[in-house]
Amino acid sequence: MVALSDFTPEQQTEIQRTREVVAALHAELPRWELIVWTAGNVSQRVAGLDLFVIKPSGVSYDELSAETMVVCTLDGEKIDDGTPEHLRPSSDTAAHAYVYANMDRVGGVVHTHSTYATAWAARGEEIPCVLTMMGDEFGGPIPVGPFAIIGDDSIGRGIVETLKDSRSRAVLMQNHGPFTIGSDAKDAVKAAVMVEEVARTVHIARQLGDTIPIPQDKIDQLFDRYQNVYGQK
C-alpha cells in the first residue's frame, strides 16, 4: 500500500494543504443548501501527484476536518494517509477517481443532491440555456448523463462520456443528481452552486409559461466574455 511517508516533505505539505482546502469547502455545501445529512462530497486532485483528497463516507459535516479527509490514488484506493483504517472514503470515490484518471483538465469534482437540479435529473431532462447566467457559466444547456449504479466506476464513465466534449462543467446524472467539475475544488463547488440556481430559476420560469431560448451565437459570445474578460485576471 502507498503510504504518506513515501512522499517527500514538499509533497506531504501539498497533500496536507489539499486536505485543508477540501475540508473547508465541504462547509459550502450545507451553507448553500445543496445537501442534506451526510450526502454529497467534494474532492480535489493533489497538484503534481496521482492522488486526490475526498471526504470519508457517512461522516457528519460537523465532524469533518483536514485530519479526517481521505487520500486516494487515481484507482480510487485509499493510501496509508494517517487516518484510522476503518475510515473509508466516500461511496462516490470510484466516480471521482475515474474522472481524474480520464480528464486531465479536471482538478476538482463535486457531487450533491441539490433539490432542483436533482428534480431535473429525475425527469432525465437537460436544463435548456434560457438564461445569460447559463451561457456565461456553462456555455449552453446542462446535459443529462446516463443512469448508473453507485459502487464502481459506472457513474464516472457516464460523467466523462457526457462532459468530455462539452463546455458544461455540470452533468445531471439520470435519477441521481448533479456532478460538477472544475479547475480545482473551489471552481467545482461554484459550479454546483450555480447549477442549482439555474435549475430552480428555469423551473419557476416554466411554471409561468414558455421560456425563450438564447441563440447559439449569443451563447458563444456570453461564454467567451465571461471566461476571458469578466472579473480580475
First to last CA, the chain: 42
Is 226 among the residues known to form the active site?
no
Is 230 among the residues known to form the active site?
yes
Which of 61, 136, 184, 220 is an active site residue?
Answer: 136
Which of 6, 50, 224, 230 is an active site residue?
Answer: 230
Find residue 107's DSSP bridge partners. Answer: none
d(CA 94, CA 71): 13
- Which residues have a Cβ under 8 Å from the Cβ of 216 and sit 6 or more positions away? none
Residues labelled as active-site residues: 136, 230
